[in-house]
Structure 1
Amino acid sequence: MTILDARKTRPSEGGPSFSLANRLTRLAWIVTWLLLARWTPKKLNGWRCFLARRFGAKVAPGAMIYGSVRIWLPSNLTIGTGSSMGPGVNCYSMGAIHIGRDTIVSQGAHLCAGTHDFRDPHFQIQSRPIHIGDRVWIAAEAFVAPGCVIPDGVVLGARGCAVGRLRPWTIYGGNPARPLGERVLRAE
């Protein structure tokens, strides 16, 4: 993906932030998703995953992507086996977003892999990858900030705001998210 130099293109004055190829790819994706996937019932998950793969997403078998999910650029998304992106998830994949195995991204959550350099007088756009490990739960309406690393086993509580690197197998909540306790799984 090509992020254009804000000093040259002046996005604050209506200039583009991304290359023409990037914008056309995203337009084709948006039209495809709206016409062929957004309205589909839950049972057509395989079809939605197929479409995401056609646009470059790395979707493992057994992953679930609901029709109301918004994916900015599928080629920046990797989602592991048994993981799901629930209703209304906003996957702002300006940079790479990696979701491990058996991870749940609940309804209304926002994964944001893009930001601006607020120190730059031209407010340059930047992409920062997000890495979410295995057996993670991103609860309803939680926000995962650009560059965040969420290791295996983490729970980010509803409306929590994760920034930076979290500790594995820890429960987090609040804004900014703070550790609330250790996550221990019951024996089967």
Structure 2
Amino acid sequence: MKTDLSTFTGEGSPEFTAKVKYLVWLLFSNVFFLTNIPYPNVLKVTILRFFGATIGHHVVIKPWVKIKFPWKLTLGNYVWLGEEAWLDNLSEIKLGNHVCLSQGALLITGNHDFKKSSFDLITKGIDIEDGVWIGAKSTVSGGVKLGSHSVLTMGSFTSKDLAPYTINQGNPAQVVKHREIN
């Protein structure tokens, strides 16, 4: 057998009304999020809520943050989304309270089944508990839970759950020490 992308069905693709909603979102996203214009956070939060996101209080959204589907996004209180963070949420992404997603971090919920010739789409959500810090240019793949107050250091990658209060580094990320907060 060989990969045959002509057999990809696109199963799970959004229906027409969802496509229209997504096109409208893209317009708002390009104007208010994918820009250097420092729009106030309250405006960005209001727009995300209008499009179905669940968002807590005191959320900071820096310029150039890319969010695929706001209606599949939950942000707790005091969440920081750094410049050029990308939430590629084909499935639900949930960030707890006091979570910091640093510059250029990538949360990606979609992948493909390379064992099938049709290369089927696989999506799995991401659950990030309270107090987690995801370092700059780090990547978290779908189906992962980051435990309370865990850290994924700069430039690291995880496709596995991270235990609470651990500092994780590398590709794949490994525990390098336990996090102590004074």
Given candidates 109, 114, 119, the residue that maps to 1:113 is 109
**What residue ranges of structure 2 are gaps of 5+ in the alignment?**
none
| Matching residue of 2:78 | 82
Question: Using a 3 Å threshold, how does the CA distance of structure 1 residues 50 and 153 change in structure 2: closer, same or farther?
Answer: same
Q: Distance in 2 between matches of 1:61 and 1:40?
A: 23
Q: Distance in 1 between matches of 2:143 and 2:6?
A: 24
The one-letter amino acid of 1:180's match is V
Q: How does 1:38-187 map to 2 (within 5 A)?
A: 38-39=34-35, 41-42=37-38, 44-186=40-182
- TM-score, normalised by the number of residues in structure 2: 0.90
Q: Distance in 2 between matches of 1:63 and 1:11?
A: 41
Identity %: 27
State the Cα distance separating 1:127 from its structure 2 match: 1.3
Query: Which 4+ runs in 1 deviate beyond 6 A?
Result: none
**What residue ranges of structure 1 are gaps of 5+ in the alignment?**
1-9
State the Cα distance separating 1:12 from its structure 2 match: 4.2
How large is the Cα RMSD of the aligned pairs?
1.9
Q: Deviations over 1:130-172 (max 9, x none)?
A: 0001111000000001111101010100011011211110000
Q: Deviations over 1:89-147 (max 9, x none)?
A: 01001000000000100000000011111212211112101000111100000000111
The one-letter amino acid of 1:96's match is E
Q: Distance in 1 between matches of 2:92 and 2:8?
A: 26
The one-letter amino acid of 1:39's match is T
In the alignment, is the contact (CA less than 8 A) between 1:132 and 1:150 conserved in 2? yes
Q: Which has the higher contact order (CA 8 A, sep 6+)?
A: 2
- TM-score, normalised by the number of residues in structure 1: 0.87
Q: Distance in 2 between matches of 1:83 and 1:42?
A: 18
State the Cα distance separating 1:78 from its structure 2 match: 0.5
SS in 1 for 2:25: helix
SS in 1 for 2:177: strand
The one-letter amino acid of 1:124's match is D
SS in 2 for 1:62: coil
Q: Distance in 1 between matches of 2:157 and 2:20?
A: 32
SS in 2 for 1:78: strand
The one-letter amino acid of 2:101's match is V
Give the aligned length. Answer: 177
Q: Distance in 2 between matches of 1:23 and 1:92?
A: 16
Q: Distance in 2 between matches of 1:74 and 1:12?
A: 30
The one-letter amino acid of 1:181's match is K
